[in-house]
Amino acid sequence: MLFEILNLIFGIAFGFIHRGKEDYYGLLKNGVIAGLILGIIFVLAAQHLVPGGMSIDLGFLGAPGFFIGIFLFLVIFILGTFAGDWLERVLRK
């Protein structure tokens, strides 16, 4: 759960810092790239460096579990990105 919260915080920070309001396609495109990279890093860290309860454990599924984990981290990052963009819009009015 720690890696998911950290990923969400990174997504919120990415959406808050990203320039250009209302550019949802650009935000989505850049968020997918950054989220994919962070997803791979966090899944590898969760499976190999810190095994046992630090994140979603899909290791029993093998290779499909690895890609499902990356997808879950990607979705969490994208949600955080849009939340950060909304937060920027609200706070900078």
DSSP state string for 6-75: HHHHHHHHHHHHSS-TT-HHHHHHHHHHHHHHHHHHHHHIIIIIS-SSSS---GGG-HHHHHHHHHHHHH
- 47 has pLDDT over 80: no
Q: Compute the distance between CA of residue 39 and CA of residue 62 in angstroms, rounded to an integer.
A: 16
Q: Which domain holds residue 17?
A: 2-91
**Average pLDDT rounded to a whole number, residues 2-24:** 84
Count of the separate structural domains present in the chain: 1
**Pair 38, 77: CB distance under 8 Å:** yes
Q: Compute the distance between CA of residue 33 and CA of residue 93 in angstroms, rounded to an integer.
A: 28
Q: Which tens digit of pLDDT belongs to each residue from 48-81? A: 776 666 566 666 667 777 888 889 999 999 999 9
- pLDDT of res. 33: 92
